[in-house]
A and B are shown apart, each in its own frame.
Chain A
Amino acid sequence: MKPILRMVTVSSLSLAFIYAATGQVTSTRLLESSKEPQNWLMYSGDYAGRRYSALDQITTANAANLIPKWAYQTMAGGKFETTPLVVDGILYATGQDDRVFALDAKTGRPIWQYQRPLPGDIRPCCGKVNRGLAILGDKVFVGTLDAHVMALDTKTGSVVWDVSAVDYRKGYSFTLAPLVIKNLVLLGVSGGEYGIRGFIDAYDVGTGERKWRFYTTPGPGEPGHDSWEGDSWKIGGAPAWITGVFDPVTNTTYWTTGNPSPSNRGEGRAGDNLYSNSLLALDPDTGKLKWYYQFTKHDEHDYDATQVPVMMDYGGKHLIVQANRNGFFYVIDRETGKLVFATPYAQQTWSDAKDASGSPVARKGSSPTPEGNRTCPGAAGATNWMSPTYDPQSGLFYVTAREQCDIFSTAPQPYDQGHAYYGSAYFPNDDAQPFWGALRAIDTGDGKLRWEFKHTSPTWAGVLSTAGGVVFTGDAEGNFIALEANSGKVLWHFQCGASVYSSPMAFAVNGKQYVAVAAGSTLFTFGLP
């Protein structure tokens, strides 16, 4: 009797295991994503925003042998910025023009495809792009270019719910991958080029009902409202178009915001312009602000903070770090919001001093002028939305950097709802050397550069680190590149045929590791022979 009982117990245990490995994604699985490195359950791979894969089959010793495994072509034009999700052998991703598709992760063969019929008058700022999905239960969640939030059935791609967040004609859109926390799907809005009022929303995963909205420019009576001149907060921008992160220990979700509008003209919006260019710590259940840290006050150079902030613990401290578009690497205590230190990781001329807290402050005379004022970084920033990665093994933070200064010119521009609202122009600095880019490995302890790999020209590819000691990135010339995490030595590269405008990820099917990246109109996967 006893042995039989044991057998039953064992088999039910293994059944339970199989169910856990192949069942629907639960909140617990999202929290414990590190326990299933074969899957990539959210945009940055985990709630900490590390874009780190614990898969270690591809190593510094064998990465030279990598070969393409399959490719999936969307056949759409424009930038392909997605990071796929992989859940138990199924890959879910988005494409240009709000395409969503599910593929057999082993073969690349499509299982379902969805494309949203978009109105002709959408106002995306920089191409009809989308960066990815969030998943929970039997639904994937997507934000659309016409500012809707949708849930699609994971098995069929059918629309389960579809809600309008805001009137897209005023310049609003969604381009980021949403983030699921508990039973809410969180996402922030794009539109900093149109004089919108930025916000971060949370929707019920089951019904699509909006549970809270946090406006990133405070209204009358709210703290921070007096950081805006007159009614400028109403069209103050501060969009939140990059996916946030989540600390379950303190129940805090961190989101970043973009430029105040108009992006390159400070006249008419005197003040710090809260909460533009900031890191926000929010209660994910209520959307209530716990604290904020503003990287660039009263910005006039389009120095968005919309890069994934990365949580890490170092020297007993709970930190959150960001290589900001303004050229400084910031380390912040994620419990208090206090700056630990900020140090440059790229050429910058906008700041020549720090305040008492150590925060860089703007140099007098760095503002755009009618005739043009050369400032570094340029309007594209020292980095941009492409994801950095933190490798807990090497202890290094890897970021795509850009060396480009621009000449910032400003001109008065009346606000016209739904129309571009820059108040400016900017140009590359013609007499300079060609702009260039680099993958930089930064020591998180002191912010010092450990190594860099120079790109021929600036790239919009993000970075992935893996437990095999290999980091992956791409370049504007179309190469997908594997480098040694400790040294920056190139181990392997593959010519994808078009610029990489995405951040790579890794997954495994049937025990075999794959690395995936979008380039051109194609999603590529690579693996060992």
Chain B
Amino acid sequence: MKLSIESNNGTSRRALARRLFFSILAAILLSYCGFCSTAKGQEKNPLAGDPKSAKLGESQFRANCAFCHGLGAKGGGRGPDLTRAQKKHGNADSDLFRTINDGVPGTSMPQNGATQQGVGMTPDEIWQVITYIRSVEVKNTGALAGNPAHGKELFYGSIGCSTCHMISGKGGRLGPDLTAAGTARSVDYLKESVRAPSKRLAQGISEAMKEFSQEYETVSVVTQDGTAFQGVVLNEDSFTIQMLDVREQIHSFDKAQLKSYEKTRTSLMPAYDAKTVGEKDLDDLIAYLLKIGSEQGGPQ
């Protein structure tokens, strides 16, 4: 009798273990189902090439994406130009789906439906947006006249971009890393950044849930002991500032403790006019950025 009870207990324990196993399995499957939409992102776009879907996608794009990526997906000061065939976070339909649905951590690109701008989109609506983006993509970007090899020489040599800008880990830190600039920005934007860097300041850190990214503003401070620092703002709030000075040293200051503190939207980067960097050299430089960008493109 006792044995039988134990045996019963044993059975129920096994049953319990089995149930537990299946519960865990179900939980794992369910948690994968949290990625169901992402799983759909691994498929080909079911709406590819459908003009009606592209039109619906345009409405979705206007409501959800245009705030940063501009009308016509040509990019604004905030979001990359999406008419380029080469996308920073992957070119395949599935990559675009993932980028739109999951966002890009560490950038201003939010998770689908997580922010103030726009509404959450269903998987179908995301495919519509992808169909729309494909419809406005400019296929042949290789036509740009320019010699990337010479552009590289200029970048690291006579123009001296690398004093402040890094590409693939090589270069300075005071300006934005330009490794992916070729995929993230339109040619027009890149040219404007060379000719008139203060017109639209580059973006720095994006914090989770914070609406606007920090920009590469210029800051000059004088501490109580009279030491002066100039550099770029890494981050800032109402009470403190974190900056990188021109010698690439990080400083943190309590604003109230400073003798003086001045911030401007005039970039530390000089404006390179056609006399300093001719049109051909500029094309070469952009060609280099585009080449590096295309080498860097693809899923992370």
- A interface residues with partner B (beta carbon < 8 Å): 77-79, 120-121, 123-128, 193-194, 372, 380, 409, 411, 413, 416, 419-420, 422, 424-428, 430-431, 433-435, 454-458, 460, 475-479, 481, 490, 493, 495, 498-499, 501, 520
Do A425 and B238 touch across chains, with their CB atoms under 8 A apart? no
**B5 beta carbon closer than 8 Å to chain A:** no
Nearest-CB residue, chain B, relative to A412: B59
Query: Cα distance A457–B122 when bound, in Å?
Result: 31
Q: Identify which of B69-77, B173-181, B282-290 touches chain A.
A: B69-77
CB-contact partner of A124 in B77, B120, B207, B208, under 8 A: B120
- Given known A477-B210, A501-B209, contact A426–B114 (CB-CB < 8 A): no
Nearest-CB residue, chain B, relative to A477: B237
Query: Cα distance A455–B212 when bound, in Å?
Result: 13
Q: Identify which of B60-68, B87-95, B273-281 touches chain A.
A: B60-68
CB-contact partner of A427 in B67, B119, B208, under 8 A: B67
- Given known A430-B200, A475-B238, contact A372–B71 (CB-CB < 8 A): yes
Query: Cα distance A195–B71 when bound, in Å?
Result: 23
Do A409 and B71 touch across chains, with their CB atoms under 8 A apart? yes
Closest-CB distance, A77 to chain B (whole angstroms): 7
14 A-B contact pairs sorted by A residue (CB < 8 Å): A126-B115, A372-B71, A409-B66, A422-B59, A428-B77, A430-B77, A433-B265, A434-B215, A458-B212, A476-B210, A476-B212, A493-B238, A498-B208, A499-B210
Nearest-CB residue, chain A, relative to B65: A425
Do A456 and B238 touch across chains, with their CB atoms under 8 A apart? yes
Which DSSP category, helix, strand, loop or mixed, fits chain A's interface?
Answer: loop
Do B114 and A422 touch across chains, with their CB atoms under 8 A apart? no
For chain B, residues 188 to 236, give those with C-beta under 8 angstroms from any C-beta of chain A: 199-200, 207-212, 215, 236
Q: Report chain B residues within 8 Å CB of A409.
A: 62, 66, 71
CB-contact partner of B113 in A124, A411, A457, A499, under 8 A: A124
Do B122 and A424 touch across chains, with their CB atoms under 8 A apart? no
Do A78 and B114 touch across chains, with their CB atoms under 8 A apart? yes
Do A427 and B62 touch across chains, with their CB atoms under 8 A apart? no
Tell me how many residue pairs across A and B have CB atoms closer than 8 Å: 119
Known: A434-B215, A455-B238, A490-B238. 13 other contacts (CB 8 A): A79-B209, A125-B119, A126-B116, A127-B114, A409-B71, A427-B66, A430-B77, A435-B212, A458-B212, A475-B237, A477-B237, A477-B238, A493-B238
Closest-CB distance, B254 to chain A (whole angstroms): 11
Measured as residues with beta carbon below 8 angstroms from the partner, the interface class of chain B is: 35 or more
Do B113 and A493 touch across chains, with their CB atoms under 8 A apart? no
Closest-CB distance, A279 to chain B (whole angstroms): 24
Closest-CB distance, B68 to chain A (whole angstroms): 8
Query: Cα distance A428–B71 when bound, in Å?
Result: 12
**B118 beta carbon closer than 8 Å to chain A:** yes
Nearest-CB residue, chain A, relative to B36: A120
Query: Cα distance A454–B56 when bound, in Å?
Result: 41
Nearest-CB residue, chain B, relative to A455: B238
CB-contact partner of A411 in B59, B67, B122, B237, under 8 A: B59
Do B120 and A479 touch across chains, with their CB atoms under 8 A apart? no
Do B239 and A420 touch across chains, with their CB atoms under 8 A apart? no
CB-contact partner of B66 in A126, A425, A433, A460, under 8 A: A425
Q: Report chain A residues within 8 Å CB of B115.
A: 126-127
CB-contact partner of A456 in B58, B200, B237, under 8 A: B237
Q: Report chain A residues within 8 Å CB of B111.
A: 77
Nearest-CB residue, chain A, relative to B238: A456
- Given known A413-B59, A479-B238, contact A425–B67 (CB-CB < 8 A): yes
Query: Cα distance A499–B211 when bound, in Å?
Result: 9
Do A457 and B119 touch across chains, with their CB atoms under 8 A apart? no
**B125 beta carbon closer than 8 Å to chain A:** yes
Q: Report chain A residues within 8 Å CB of B66.
A: 409, 425-427
Closest-CB distance, B27 to chain A (whole angstroms): 14
Q: Report chain B residues within 8 Å CB of A77.
A: 111, 114
Q: Report chain B residues within 8 Å CB of A380.
A: 116
Closest-CB distance, B191 to chain A (whole angstroms): 16
- Given known A78-B114, A477-B237, A481-B238, contact A428–B210 (CB-CB < 8 A): no
- Given known A457-B210, A499-B209, A501-B209, contact A427–B70 (CB-CB < 8 A): yes
Q: Report chain B residues within 8 Å CB of A433.
A: 265
Query: Cα distance A307–B122 when bound, in Å?
Result: 29
Nearest-CB residue, chain B, relative to A458: B211
Query: Cα distance A263–B280 when bound, in Å?
Result: 47
Do A520 and B113 touch across chains, with their CB atoms under 8 A apart? no
Q: Report chain B residues within 8 Å CB of A490.
A: 238-239
For chain B, residues 110 to 135, give those with C-beta under 8 angstroms from any C-beta of chain A: 111, 113-116, 118-122, 125
Which one of A124, A372, A456, A499 has the greatest number of beta carbons of chain B within 10 Å? A456
- Given known A77-B114, A422-B62, A428-B67, contact A476–B238 (CB-CB < 8 A): no
Do B207 and A498 touch across chains, with their CB atoms under 8 A apart? yes
Closest-CB distance, A454 to chain B (whole angstroms): 8
> When A and B form their complex, which 7 residue pairs have the shortest distance between CB atoms, in order from nearest?
A477-B237, A425-B62, A425-B66, A422-B63, A499-B209, A420-B119, A413-B59
Do A477 and B120 touch across chains, with their CB atoms under 8 A apart? no
Nearest-CB residue, chain B, relative to A120: B36
